[in-house]
Structure 1
């Protein structure tokens, strides 16, 4: 399948819908909404990388009601990892929707109980898939999310990531999930989060999306600070230089080939540079994005669309 290129001329935008931003994914949405398992299976059969497989799995899992056709498909094809992994990932999304993205102190006991019930259902499926298919990236990626939600600890999450990376190194979806686990809000530390992000950026081939982990780690750190401390942190020279280096070895490197994760990676840099007031550095990322953006990390603002437009105007003058 073709990759996703840049869109250098902004107009009204942005759209945060991944299907609008990546037209190659539209047949998946059509098949999912119509409950057509055969069309869904055919779409996945046409994917040519673990990155595409994980991207499409996450998008399908975020589509309401798909469990109604995934459950019979998983039962009908017990030896196929695809329908079981898609179903498990859908269960994870159902559970997380019940829990919400609120901090733990704002989540009720009933929400936690339902959340954990759905994650345990997913985990039981995924354990079997990973035992049968130890190189199957979408299943291990989903198990990073269940590890976090079920509070299995830092060591177990890292073990799962290492099992995946032994077969699929530099897997961007898995890296973003482990990064969340390593943040203090999930009992990690900033030393661990920033260390992992830089490890990902350094180890990945030039032009890989993994450098965006550096931007995401700084955004998470910024979000965790008191409002009085945020501006100084992101405006600081060490953070700016860290972001510059990570961008140069990843999405701004000549070897970068835009793919389904590039919009998210450029969004991370555009957001991080902008909240630090480094608009000249943000400019090439907004030039790539045009009218497209990923929900994350723009969802960390009260009005993602207005924030995007304000920052883009500061960076590009349009």
Structure 2
């Protein structure tokens, strides 16, 4: 069960476990805010076994981008299931091959959605997530990306009219991790201060799929140490 007992999240998980894509459509389609849509899509897609029935959904709704978005998002989780959460030197060659095969499936799905609807905001979120890979930390340290992160934070979690939406800790955890990995310690500390101990699985599971709280605590500690706190 997702933290906070979110009823919509619980419904999505139940529908996913049951392979009930019709209910998934009914629950996800009305969500129009891109951040909320991305958040709930990830929750729905992180259900084991969806690869066995998602093609039925795609075939039943060939004109809708939603089934392909779900398939692409699920393929990312499915890929990490194959790879595991350990360091690269602990992953077998076969596991890496399966990992990249499933990531390719995810990328193909997202490319198909982009071709159909290039302005769909959630696609951009998922493609960025997919593209980070092992080069994510180095990429985030570039001046251009740092500036982009600040701009994004100013438009969202640091905006004067920002309102906490469902699962608000997720958004602050995302910025905390991004700023910490980019070594922008002051900006990261601001987010960690707001979060307190409300760690969320996403995005920290990207660094440790089995224990996402471990990288959260490690990066929070380092952030405060860098600032002498």
TM-score above 0.5: yes
Give the structure 2 partner of residue 138 of structure 1.
Answer: 122
Q: State how far apart, in whole Å, the 2-side matches of 1:285 and 1:18 are.
A: 20
Structure 2 unaligned blocks of 5 or more: 222-229
Shift of 1:202: 3.0
Shift of 1:76: 1.7
Shift of 1:146: 4.0
Say if 2:84 is the partner of 1:100.
Answer: yes
Q: What TM-score, normalized by structure 2, do the two folds share?
A: 0.72
Give the structure 2 partner of residue 263 of structure 1.
Answer: 169
Give 2:10's match in structure 1, choosing from 26, 30, 35: 26
Give the structure 1 partner of residue 65 of structure 2.
Answer: 81
SS of the aligned residue for 2:53 comes to helix
Give the structure 2 partner of residue 114 of structure 1.
Answer: 98
Q: State how far apart, in whole Å, the 2-side matches of 1:189 and 1:298 are.
A: 15
Q: Is the 8 A contact 1:57 1:138 kept in 2?
A: no
Say if 2:39 is the partner of 1:55.
Answer: yes
Shift of 1:130: 0.9
Q: State how far apart, in whole Å, the 1-side matches of 2:69 and 2:191 are.
A: 37
1:127-167 deviation line (CA, Å, top 9, x unaligned): 22211110123333333344345xxxxxxxxxxxxxxxxxx
Structure of greater Rg:
1
1:161-192 deviation line (CA, Å, top 9, x unaligned): xxxxxxxxxxxxxxxxxxx75423xxx373x1
Q: State how far apart, in whole Å, the 1-side matches of 2:145 and 2:26 are.
A: 36
Give the structure 2 partner of residue 200 of structure 1.
Answer: 149
1:227-283 deviation line (CA, Å, top 9, x unaligned): xxxxxxxxxxxxxxxxxxxxxxx1xx652200245202444659x7xxx9xxx9789
Higher RCO, Cα 8 Å, sep 6+: 1
Residues 63 and 189 of structure 1: is their aligned pair in 2 closer, same or farther, counting only changes over 3 Å?
A: closer
Give the structure 1 partner of residue 199 of structure 2.
Answer: 293
Q: State how far apart, in whole Å, the 2-side matches of 1:203 and 1:29 are.
A: 29
Q: Is the 8 A contact 1:31 1:39 kept in 2?
A: yes
Q: State how far apart, in whole Å, the 2-side matches of 1:123 and 1:117 are.
A: 10
SS of the aligned residue for 2:24 comes to helix
